[in-house]
Amino acid sequence: MPKASDLKKGDVVAIKGAPHIVKHIEVKSPSSRGSATLYKIRFKHAQTGQKVDESLKGDDMLADIDFERRKMQYSFRDGEAYVFMDDEDYSQHSLTAAELGDDRYYIVENMESVVGMLVAGQLLGIELPQSVAMTISETSPGIKGASASARTKPAHFVTGLVIQVPEYIDVGETVKINTEDNRFMSRA
């Protein structure tokens, strides 16, 4: 049984008997003496996608759930379902756009290094890599000499993702995007 202080983003625990994925952790250290550090944790229900916010003390115990992480590759999209293939046994698992949430904006063709979380052989969710490389499909024209300024412009991608990029970036360029905070990192 893990303690609240041991949880990391992407861990799976049981809350009221149902599997929940840790999505965000915020640590609050109170200033008064004798107070315990509080962990504000946002969980996502693995099947319904419903968000649950909990405030826990560091030594609060959570029910453990038996799950496994498997390396997967995005294969194709079938209507509303995104199909992933297990790298070990080549089995296929699918998640709907609603189950993926905002992670679906980072999924591109032949994407590798996705970690799937399986409970009893069923894919509950995925963990994206720290960064992904994507090609810009639409943005305003690049401005020569704009590299010295810190101004940005919106860039659109085929997945529906929109982020801010420097003015010198142009359509068709491939850029690295941080999946944690939805930000431009560099040209790829």
Tens of pLDDT, residue by residue, the chain (188 residues): 778 888 887 778 888 878 888 888 888 877 666 667 888 888 887 767 678 888 888 788 888 777 788 898 888 888 888 888 888 888 898 888 888 878 888 888 877 778 888 877 788 778 888 888 888 888 887 666 655 567 888 899 988 899 998 888 888 888 999 888 888 888 87
Q: What is the pLDDT of residue 101?
A: 78
Which domains are delineated in the chain?
Answer: 4-64 (2.30.30.30), 68-127 (2.40.50.140), 131-187 (2.40.50.140)
In whole angstroms, how far apart are CA 173 and each of 109, 154, 165, 168, 182? Answer: 16, 14, 11, 11, 17
**Six-digit token string for 12:** 């799976």
Residues 84, 93 contacting (CB under 8 angstroms): yes
Alpha helices in 60-183 (DSSP H): 97-100
Question: Which pTM does this prediction carry?
Answer: 0.70
